[in-house]
Structure 1
Amino acid sequence: MTKPPLRRSRRRSAARARADAAADPSVPPTNTARRCTALHHLLTLTHKSQQTRSTRSIWVPSPTSLRRPSWRRWSPAARASPRCRRAPTSPPTTTTSGSQPRPPGGACGIKDVNLAPYNGMIACGNVPIFKDGKGCGSCYEIKCQKPPPCSDKPITIFITDKNYEPIAPYHIDLSGTAFGAMATPGKEQTLRSFGELELQFRRVRCKYAPGTKITFHVEKGSNPNYLAVLVKFVSDDGDVVQMDIQESKSPAWIPLTLSWGAIWRWDGAKPLKGPFSIRVTSESGKKLIAKDVIPANWKADTVYTSNVQF
């Protein structure tokens, strides 16, 4: 029995397709030739774009590179730039379903960061620092050794905003106040003019002035069927990974959902009745209960200060 003749492949090589097209312009290019031409065009554009941005390296994150910053130990892999604003004024944007539009206040929702206790010493963090809002309020010590205006003395900053631009595994945008604070006296503006620089950083415990308590802000638009609460001034870990609420006449704790930034929310068909207690859980697993911190006659867009602190 004779073997059937081998069929020639319908796909021609890219080189042959390009040669045919060049020899006879009337011959339409094959799919392979189109793909290769498009790929060549893409590589050309990429090369040109890299040439135009030669002063900034683009970092592509991988699952193993998004590690949590170290506590206590200095990490030398961060880049900093003076672009995090002290008083963000970005217009409101619509968030995911169930949450209200975001008002001005940065990606954490914290306003008046130029006032105490932040005093403008704030920063925007990238993915492993901001952590989709669960890094809001965390504290870092940072310092720079070069260029010469750097003082090599550590300063403490608070994370109140985000910047997910892929520049480095760890990228921190500082406020002008914080960036200048890394300089030797009188060289603040000189250091800011460098734009970007390498720095060392490490996670530290947040410390506030004596008497500072955890504070809650009931957001605009809140009502008995929708409650959104911002948490700030959290000492120690600084950030919050879970919040729960309890009605005064119920023993059950109702888990809140992270809405965005440092704002946690609850929405349901059954209206809530105050006063409310709030349970705060920090990143290290510590819990605190602010008993009846939100009164029965609570109002939206109002600040309520607890009597607890980590």
Structure 2
Amino acid sequence: MAFPHPSLYFLFATFLLMQTLGDAATCSDCFTQSRAAYYPNSDEKGTETGECGFGTFGATINGGDVSAASDLYRNGVGCGACYQVRCTDSNHCSDKGVTVVITDHGSSDRTDFILSRRAFGQMAQTTDAAASLLALGVVDIEYRRVPCSYPNKNITFKIDENSNYPYYLAFVIWYQQGKKDVTAVQLCETQNFGCKLLDRTYGAVWTTTSPPSGPLLIRMLFSDDDDENWVVPVNNIPGDWKPGNTYDSGVQVN
């Protein structure tokens, strides 16, 4: 009986190894090991001064289950992303953990997340276990990116209070849905359909000087490693937009 040449075994083994490594590298549902702390001297919810620029919305979105991120902040691209975070101590921690929204930038003692007190306690099995976790201050965790979901909420544009009608427009995007990042935003005139790319000034704040007059259409590019697509709102921002106002886009992203 003839046996395959040893080199064929080597090639086959190499193929299996490369396939396994490739699958591991592209595993979007896999957990990553890390550490998490919580905001010191904070109340149950998040901060109103987070570096994403969400303001008071950033403290209360998702019921206050929010977090600052270090590397996952990604110069603001990570703002609004959702992660499942669960601590790994089986004596205190639940299998489900907590889903948090990134609203701030920061790190502490080699952490990827600084959770709100509420979110930190949500990782525990019981109220007593939550108290034990808070007493530890920093815990080992594992996390993965998950879709953001806001039932009965459309993507909403909040005009920043620092905007100056009609000379300077700044806004943030509320209720970012799905599992993709908003990587580009265009501002389009509804009369002649001319569009221009906006600047990400910091965090999730998009700005432009000399915005066109009349109703405004905002197009958003949602991207991940595999795909990207432009999302066009149903509703325009009215021509007489005002700082501090919110405007419902009329669309949701699955």
TM-score, normalised by the number of residues in structure 1: 0.66
Shift in Å, 1:241? 1.1
- 1:106 partnered with 2:50: yes
Amino acid of the structure 1 residue aligned with 2:161: K
Amino acid of the structure 2 residue aligned with 1:141: Q
Please give the per-residue CA displacement for 1:171-196, whole angstroms capped at 9, x wherever unaligned: 11010011000111222122111011
Query: Structure 1 180/206 Cα, relative in aligned 2: closer, same or farther at 3 Å?
Result: same
Aligned 8 A contact 1:217 1:302 in 2 = yes
RMSD of aligned C-alpha atoms?
2.1
Amino acid of the structure 2 residue aligned with 1:112: F
Larger strand percent: 2
Please give the per-residue CA displacement for 1:109-147, whole angstroms capped at 9, x wherever unaligned: 1123453x51011010002x1111110010111111216
Aligned 8 A contact 2:107 2:114 in 1 = no
- 1:272 partnered with 2:207: no
Shift in Å, 1:235? 0.7
- 1:151 partnered with 2:94: yes
Q: Secondary structure at the match of 1:178?
A: helix
Aligned length, in residue pairs: 220
Give the distance between the partners of 2:162 and 2:58, measured in 1 at CA: 23
Equivalent position of 1:239 in the other structure? 181
Stretches of structure 1 that go unaligned for 5 or more consecutive residues are: 1-67, 89-103
Query: Structure 1 287/107 Cα, relative in aligned 2: closer, same or farther at 3 Å?
Result: same
Query: Structure 1 201/70 Cα, relative in aligned 2: closer, same or farther at 3 Å?
Result: farther
Indicate which of 122, 128, 134 corresponds to 1:192.
Answer: 134
Please give the per-residue CA displacement for 1:163-222, whole angstroms capped at 9, x wherever unaligned: 045x43x6110100110001112221221110111101111111121x210010111232
Equivalent position of 1:183 in the other structure? 124
Give the distance between the partners of 1:244 and 1:149, measured in 2 at CA: 46
Percent of matched pairs sharing the same residue: 29
TM-score, normalised by the number of residues in structure 2: 0.80
Shift in Å, 1:226? 1.1
Q: Secondary structure at the match of 1:266?
A: strand
Equivalent position of 2:36 in the other structure? 80
Q: Which structure is larger by alpha-carbon Rg, 1 or 2?
A: 1
| Aligned 1:1-310 pairs, distance under 5 A | 71-76=28-33, 78-83=34-39, 86-88=45-47, 104-110=48-54, 111-115=56-60, 117-127=61-71, 129-146=72-89, 148-164=91-107, 167-168=109-110, 171-186=112-127, 187-209=129-151, 211-222=152-163, 223-237=165-179, 239-268=181-210, 272-284=212-224, 285-310=228-253
Aligned 8 A contact 1:137 1:238 in 2 = no
Instruction: Using CA pairs under 8 Å that are at least 6 residues apart, name the structure with larger relative contact order, 1 or 2.
Output: 2
Give the distance between the partners of 2:132 and 2:27, measured in 1 at CA: 30
